[in-house]
Structure 1
Amino acid sequence: MTDSPPDADLGTFVEELLHFDTTGGEEAPAQSWLRDRLVDLGFETYEWTADAERLADHHSFPDDPAEIDVADRPSVAGVLELGDPDAGPALVLNGHVDVVPAERDLWDTDPFEPTWGEANGETTLTARGAVDMKSALGACVFAALDLQARAEGGEVDLDGRVVVESVAGEEEGGIGAAAAALDNPYPFERDAAVVAEPTELRAVTATEGTVMKRLRLRGRSAHAATRWVGESVLPHFERIRREFEALEAERHESLTHPLYESYPVRWPVCFGRVEAGSWSSTVPANLTAEIRIGVAPGETVEEVEAAYEARLAEVVDDEPWLRDHPPSFERFSVQFDSAETDPDEPVVASLQRAMSDAGIDDTAPVGATYGADSRLYVEAGIPTVLFGPGTIEQAHFPNETVRWSDVELAREVLAGSAADFLAGVQSPTSGSVSK
Structure 2
Amino acid sequence: MTWKNSREWLTTLVAFDTTSRNSNLALIECVRDALAALGVPATLIHAPSGGKANLFATLPAHDGGQQGGIVLSGHTDVVPVDGQVWDTDPFQLTERAGRLYGRGSCDMKGFIACALALVPEFLAMPRARPLHLAFSYDEEVGCVGAPLLLEQLKLRGARFDGCVVGEPTSMRVVVAHKGIHLFRCRVHGKAAHSSLTPQGSNAIEHAARLICRIRDIADHFKANGPYDEFFDVPYTTLTTNQIHGGIAVNTIADLCEFAYEFRNLPGMSMEHIQGQIEAYVRDELLPRMQHEYADARVEIQALASAPALEASEQAAITALVRALTGDRATRKVAFATEGGLLQNAGIPTVVCGPGSIEQAHKPNEFVEPAQLEACERFLRRLAQSL
TM range (shorter): 0.7 to 0.9
- Report if aligned partners of 2:264, 2:270 keep a CA contact under 8 Å in 1: yes
1:156-175 CA-to-partner distances (Å, cap 9, x unmatched) read: x6311111222223234334
Q: Is the 8 A contact 1:169 1:175 kept in 2?
A: yes
**Structure-to-structure mapping, 1:29-428, within 5 angstroms:** 29-40=26-37, 42=38, 44-50=40-46, 52=48, 70-86=49-65, 89-103=68-82, 106-118=85-97, 123-148=98-123, 151=125, 158-184=127-153, 189-223=159-193, 232-252=202-222, 253-257=224-228, 259-260=230-231, 262-263=232-233, 266-313=235-282, 316=285, 320-321=288-289, 324=292, 327-356=297-326, 362-420=327-385, 422=386
Single out whichever of 135-144 and 225-234 deviates more from structure 2. 225-234
- 8 Å CA contact retained: 1:213, 1:329: no
Q: Secondary structure at the residue paired with 2:304?
A: coil
* Letter of the 1:414 counterpart: L
SS in 2 for 1:102: coil
Unpaired segments of 5 or more residues in structure 1? 1-7, 53-69, 152-156, 357-361, 423-435
Whether the 8 Å contact between 1:198 and 1:389 is mirrored in structure 2 is yes
Taking the aligned partners of 1:37 and 1:87, their CA distance within structure 2 comes to 20
TM-score when normalising by structure 2: 0.86
Aligned-pair CA distance for 1:277: 0.7
Tell me which amino acid in the other structure corresponds to 1:103: D
Runs of 4+ in 1 over 6 A off after TM superposition: 225-229
Deviation at 1:20, TM superposition (A): 0.8
Contact 1:353 1:417 in 2 (8 A): no
With over 3 angstroms needed to count, the CA separation of the structure-2 counterparts of 1:145 and 1:204, relative to structure 1, is: farther
Q: C-alpha separation between the residues in 1 aligned to 2:283 and 2:383? A: 52
| Equivalent AA in structure 1 for residue 91 of structure 2 | F
The 1:322–1:404 alpha-carbon spacing in structure 2 relative to 1, beyond 3 Å, is: farther
Q: How many residues are paired up?
A: 379
Contact 1:96 1:168 in 2 (8 A): yes
Q: Which runs of 5 or more structure 2 residues have no equivalent in the other structure? A: none
Please give the alpha-carbon distance, in whole angstroms, between the structure 2 residues aligned to 1:44 and 1:87: 12
Greater shift, 82-91 or 390-399, is seen at 82-91
Distance 2:8 2:314 in 1: 37
Query: Are residues 142 and 322 of structure 1, via their aligned partners in 2, closer, same or farther at CA, if it must alter by over 3 Å?
Result: farther
3-state SS of the aligned residue for 1:203?
Answer: coil
Q: Secondary structure at the match of 2:65?
A: helix
Superposition RMSD on alpha carbons, in Å? 3.0
Contact 2:184 2:303 in 1 (8 A): no
% identity of equivalent residues: 24
For the Cα contact (< 8 Å) 1:143–1:412, is it kept in 2? Answer: no
CA distance in 1, matches of 2:215, 2:109: 35
How many Å separate the matches in 1 of 2:288 and 2:329? 52
Distance 1:244 1:275 in 2: 17
Q: CA deviation at 1:199?
A: 2.2
| Structure 1 pair 246–14 and aligned structure 2 pair: CA distance change class (3 A) | same
